[in-house]
């Protein structure tokens, strides 16, 4: 396997690590304001991991995040001012877009079988 063939495996590994970090128990025992801060930080980290998983810049994820820079800045401001409830839908929407973009950029095994390719 070439070193470039390992990139999708590394990307999925990084995504797994990000999800595992989001589930750490210290966030559960923090005071309410800190819980919101932790959730916002986790969402920011996940956005970064998902953007990196798309590969070399520029890519669809980096272009999307660039287009959404003002929105992300507003979400960060909301988090910093104890208004995580306003920011979380923004983060969730962007995470959903990046996840879907990543999912659709890689052919499924079934699609590869139908096209006759054997990877």
pLDDT in tens, 23-76: 554 444 445 557 888 999 999 999 999 988 888 888 888 888 999 999 999 999
Range of the domain at 9: 3-115
Total domain count, the chain: 1
Spatial distance between the Cα atoms of 32 and 95, rounded to a whole number of angstroms: 23
CB 72 within 8 A of CB 94: yes
Of the candidates 81, 99, 79, the residue with the CA atom closest to the CA atom of residue 89:
79
pTM of the predicted structure, to 2 decimals: 0.61
The per-residue pLDDT for range 65-119, each reduced to its tens digit, is: 999 999 999 999 999 999 999 999 999 999 999 999 888 876 554 555 566 655 4
Contact 87, 41 (CB under 8 A): no
């Amino acid at each position: 396997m070439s070193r470039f063939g390992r990139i999708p495996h590394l990307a999925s590994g990084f995504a797994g690590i990000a999800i595992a970090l989001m589930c750490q128990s210290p966030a559960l025992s923090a005071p309410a304001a800190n819980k919101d801060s932790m959730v916002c930080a986790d969402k920011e980290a996940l956005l970064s991991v998902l953007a990196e998983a798309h590969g070399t810049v520029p890519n669809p994820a980096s272009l999307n995040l660039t287009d959404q820079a003002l929105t992300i800045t507003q979400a960060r401001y909301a988090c910093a001012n104890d208004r995580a409830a306003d920011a979380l839908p923004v983060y969730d929407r962007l995470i959903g877009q990046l996840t879907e973009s990543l999912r659709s950029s890689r052919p499924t095994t079934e699609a590869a079988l139908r096209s006759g390719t054997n990877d």
